[in-house]
A = this chain, B = another copy of it.
Amino acid sequence: MTFEPGGETIEVPDGTLISQAAEEAGIELNLPCGGQGRCGRCAVVVEQGQVLRRSTSRLSPEALEEGYALACQTVIESDVIVTVPPQEKIERRLPTAQRVAKITVPFAYDWSRDQPIQKYFVAIKPPSLDDNTDDVARLKRDLQGQHGIDVQHLIMDLPVLRKVAGVLRDSEWRVTAVLEMDTWLSPDGPPRLVDLLPGDMTSSCWGVAVDIGTTSNVVYLVDLLTGEVVDTASDYNGQIARGEDVISRIIYATKNDGLHELQDLVVGTINRLLARLAERNNLASTDIYKMTVAGNSTMIHLFLGLPPESIRLEPYITTTNQPPPAKAEQLGLDINPQATVDCLPGVGSYVGADITSGVSSSGICVAKELSLFIDIGTNGEIVLGDCDWLIACACSAGPAFEGAGVRDGMRATAGAMEEVWIDQGTLETSYRVIGDEQPRGICGSGLISLLAEMFITGVVDKAGNLNLGLDTPRLRAGDHGPEYVVAWSQEAATGRDIVINKVDIDSLLRAKAAVYAGFSVLARNVGLDLDSVARVLIAGAFGQYLDVETAVQIGLLPDLPRDKFRFLGNTSILGAYWGLLSRERRQQVNEVAQRMTYLELSADNSFHDEWVSALFLPHTHITDFPSVMELLKNRADS
């Protein structure tokens, strides 16, 4: 057996694990999970020869195709050559913003005429004493004559009207009319003259799709002529400094001039992203003629300057779930001042436009099979349904998955442990840190993997109690009760131990129980079993980094066949993108918002019972989690 790239060769009997052979050959393989095939960190490439893969957990079909195998789960059956890749070469999921760049439109119909921003070049007959019609009437006459536009009720606002005379004369009556075909009022409303440009400017046409997340804002720059996303930019929502979650933002907004301040902050963030996109792509911000926006209801309220107080207070009411179109100049956005800013509609206070966008862009709303759509963040929003019906709920998971409310929790930024493994034998930890730095804390995905590892290795029992009887210095009595040391002070950037305690674990249990109870109540409400779900679609920035295995192990996700799970990434911005590009798809979001039944969990009698049942690892009803039962049985056997 030969190891590349070093070329070390060693003789071992058939049936030897690659990890054992590597150890014998003096090659250090990272085995953070202690060789249990759970972490995927020991993946190697089998270049030549026969092997038997006992488990392929964490390896994608593409990776298998390329010969990847888990060193701790694969035995050799012939002479083999194996390449040990540099550890970090194992692909991590990339942030959505990068992954979806250069989308091209797969629409079956002619979206290029369907998207509402249209430019028309018009050569206008100059006026004379015999033909002294006014400027606007001339423009309308030729728009109708040359392009068949129904101009009878053409909407034109003062700022555009003020430039008409100058543009017509400076350009010698050869101009480009930028029309928005309808969105301002209604799907069959009259067109609006958004701008008038000198000469023929029809060779480019720009729009932007925006996702206003509580944590991150994302902007797609979209070429409206080709439908391509030509560039993307994202950054933290500037409001973060005024509160990490929607509730603290709402509270902040009610104080003094908090609402204006929060509005300015998010607009400032979006403007910085717009400036970056404009500069990189060599265009003027005024060349952007449309913005379509998705986001949760609180984010949309703060963006539009609508007071959000009543979202937080029972009975949880928004000012509106269907914001009217606004103009960029009204909001201080650095695109064309006359551009329409179209905020997609939501369903209620806690099922906003981010979810209707997700349901529309993921295609649940047109699928025959039953889908479960999950967006987990501070709140878990859950949708169950198909092309005939849709039901949604929001479960207040609390900020634990965002790393808040946990002693050493933190956001998923540089220095955050994003994955943790516990060695079954030694109960020692290994971890992966964002940015490969010394750890400063643990982010949401790290907490989930830590809790799963603690449970599987017996560090905590099914009620989340720490087993202080185990023989490891990592388990100890802390200031706030029993705790487990994830990283010692000397490893940590903070210079102090990074720990998880019983209080933290309870927060995580409450959070995951709320989400799981949400699924259960939704399914029960429509009289279905979770088994009948054909697809589980996981959306949202946090979902991107979620590992299905560990999420099932703690009972956050239902224990369904793994091929039913799909990670969709940021479906909110995707919905905004489709809504920008297609009136048909934009209309679909409306239809989704109107069709979706919102189940208010705080008004549902069964929710509390379901939640209490879900407060255990993985769940009171362990039989609903066969794969976890199997794993625990294996542990007991070993």
Contact = CB atoms under 8 A, between A and B. Distances in A.
Interface of A: 127-137, 152-153, 155-158, 161-162, 164-166, 169, 185-186, 189-190, 304-307, 309-310, 314-324, 326, 330-331, 348-349, 598, 600, 602-603
B132 A319 contact: no
Q: Considering residues A304, A315, A349, A603, which has the most beta carbons from chain B within 10 angstroms of its beta carbon?
A: A315
Nearest to A169: B310
A319 B134 contact: yes
A185 B165 CA distance: 22
Given A155-B185, A158-B326, A132 B600 contact: yes
Nearest to A600: B129
A309 B314 CA distance: 59
B185 A135 contact: no
B306 A134 contact: no
B161 A304 contact: yes
A23 to B, nearest CB: 61
Contacts of A133: 317
Contact of A132 (B130, B305, B316): B316
Contacts of A305: 158, 162
A320 B196 CA distance: 15
A348 B158 contact: no
Contact of A186 (B129, B131, B153): B153
A190 B324 CA distance: 14
Contacts of A598: 132
B157 A324 contact: yes
Contacts of A164: 319-320
A297 B61 CA distance: 73
A324 B316 CA distance: 40
The 3 closest A-B pairs by CB, nearest first: A136-B320, A129-B603, A134-B318
A35 B314 CA distance: 90
29 contacts: A127-B315, A129-B315, A131-B315, A132-B315, A134-B317, A134-B318, A134-B321, A135-B318, A136-B322, A137-B320, A137-B321, A153-B185, A153-B186, A156-B324, A158-B305, A158-B324, A158-B331, A161-B304, A161-B306, A161-B320, A161-B323, A161-B324, A162-B304, A162-B306, A162-B307, A164-B320, A165-B317, A169-B310, A186-B190
A323 B157 CA distance: 9
Nearest to A187: B153
A597 B190 CA distance: 28
Contacts of A309: 165
A20 B602 CA distance: 103
B603 A136 contact: no
B600 A127 contact: no
Given A152-B186, A165-B306, 12 more contacts: A127-B315, A129-B315, A129-B600, A132-B316, A132-B600, A134-B317, A137-B320, A157-B326, A158-B326, A164-B320, A165-B309, A169-B310
Nearest to A317: B127
Contact of A330 (B155, B158, B169, B603): B158
Nearest to A330: B158
Q: Considering residues A131, A305, A320, A348, which has the most beta carbons from chain B within 10 angstroms of its beta carbon?
A: A320
A319 B153 contact: no
A320 B600 CA distance: 53
Contacts of A131: 315
Nearest to A138: B317
A165 B310 contact: yes
B603 A134 contact: no
A132 B349 CA distance: 9
Nearest to A347: B134
Q: Considering residues A161, A164, A322, which has the most beta carbons from chain B within 10 angstroms of its beta carbon?
A: A161
Nearest to A316: B132
Contact of A317 (B130, B135, B161, B307): B135
Contacts of A316: 129, 132
A186 B185 CA distance: 12
Contacts of A326: 157-158
Nearest to A297: B134
A314 B153 contact: no
Contacts of A185: 153, 155, 185, 190
Q: Considering residues A137, A158, A304, A322, which has the most beta carbons from chain B within 10 angstroms of its beta carbon?
A: A158
A165 B307 contact: yes
A189 to B, nearest CB: 8
Nearest to A318: B134
A185 B304 CA distance: 24
B135 A320 contact: yes
Given A155-B324, A162-B305, A319 B600 contact: no
A315 to B, nearest CB: 5
Contact of A129 (B136, B306, B314): B314
A317 B310 CA distance: 53
A306 B164 CA distance: 9
A296 to B, nearest CB: 14
Nearest to A153: B186
A127 B317 CA distance: 8
A180 to B, nearest CB: 14
A331 B159 CA distance: 11
A158 B165 CA distance: 30
Nearest to A308: B165
A316 B309 CA distance: 56
Given A156-B324, A185-B155, A185-B190, A319 B130 contact: no
A613 to B, nearest CB: 23
A538 B602 CA distance: 74
A249 B164 CA distance: 20
A318 B139 CA distance: 13
B306 A603 contact: no
B315 A134 contact: no
